[in-house]
Amino acid sequence: MNRFLKYFMMLLTLVLIVIPVIFIINLYHTSENAMQASYDKSDAKRQSNIREGKVDPSKDAVSILFLGIDDNEGRRENGQTTEHSRTDSMILSTFSPEKRQIRLLSIPRDTISYIPKVGYYDKITHAHAYGGPTAAMDSVEATLNVPVDYYVRVNMEAFVKAVDELGGIYYDVPYNLNEPNTDDSGRIKIKKGYQKLNGDEALAVARTRHHDSDLKRGERQMDLIKLLFKKAKSLDSYNKLDNLVEIVGDNAKHNLSTDEIKSLASMYLSDDIEFKTSQLKGKNDYLNEIYYYNPS
């Protein structure tokens, strides 16, 4: 696999790794079996409810919904399936060839949304539990009135292993933390301050909502995306890309074909691509004494 395609895959990997931390596309030449195992044929033919026809990533602006799910070994042992997991976070990424730009929009998990799968309003984090990636994509379209063309879904275990494979990341933790570990079998305790974080610790920083808000958590996740991408682009990390692709092979699902991935790679790996990050604007709201984030 050429160097640029590997870096593009890593970008997509990092964008899904951090929410649990953001992107994980494990595809193409490194592992044919991993690519086929993670490719979701059932959602491959889905077309946006807003578009008139199928998009072509080689020339059209396209969007990818990155889904981080709160799925782990402990929960699976208690009977929770991946398909019925809530999303721990959502990021809608828009790829614009005309503007030479990639925009990342963080969607708070408590956002109130109409969920077409069940026919009523609920927190958008529940959409995936009701109907998998398709229900999540349909709900984002209903909330934002923008097309959602593809998805990439990753669980927390992939993020933890990927951060550890990169040798950890340095981050200025804003406060003392005491959070559940990846499989909910113990606690992660972290002191406030600038320090090196391993995978479990970085995930705890990305997920916590006990000290601030869902919006602040989204900001931390965006910060971690940038740090991870910078680390992955380092010379030492390049030799680990194959290992990272293998790590996520069993922990990701997507509906992008190999040709679509190659089209995105050829379009968005040049140095002149601009990245922009933002959060969905809205306000705090309550309905029947239940908290929601109401987009404006």
The pLDDT score that the predictor gives to residue 77 is 61
Per-residue pLDDT tens digits for 218-256: 778 778 877 876 776 665 555 666 677 677 666 788 888
Band (pLDDT 50/70/90 cuts) for residue 33 is: low
Q: Find out whether 120 and 139 touch, Cβ atoms under 8 Å.
A: no
Q: Find out whether 170 and 76 touch, Cβ atoms under 8 Å.
A: no
How far apart CA 243 and CA 235 sit, in angstroms, is 15
Per-residue pLDDT tens digits for 167-191: 899 999 998 998 887 666 778 999 9
pTM of the model: 0.79
Mean per-residue pLDDT, 79-94: 79
Mean per-residue pLDDT, 53-64: 89
Q: Find out whether 268 and 8 touch, Cβ atoms under 8 Å.
A: yes
For domain 3-164+214-224+241-295, which CATH number applies: 1.10.600.10, 3.40.50.300, 3.30.420.590, 3.30.70.260? 3.30.420.590
Per-residue pLDDT tens digits for 40-52: 766 667 888 899 8
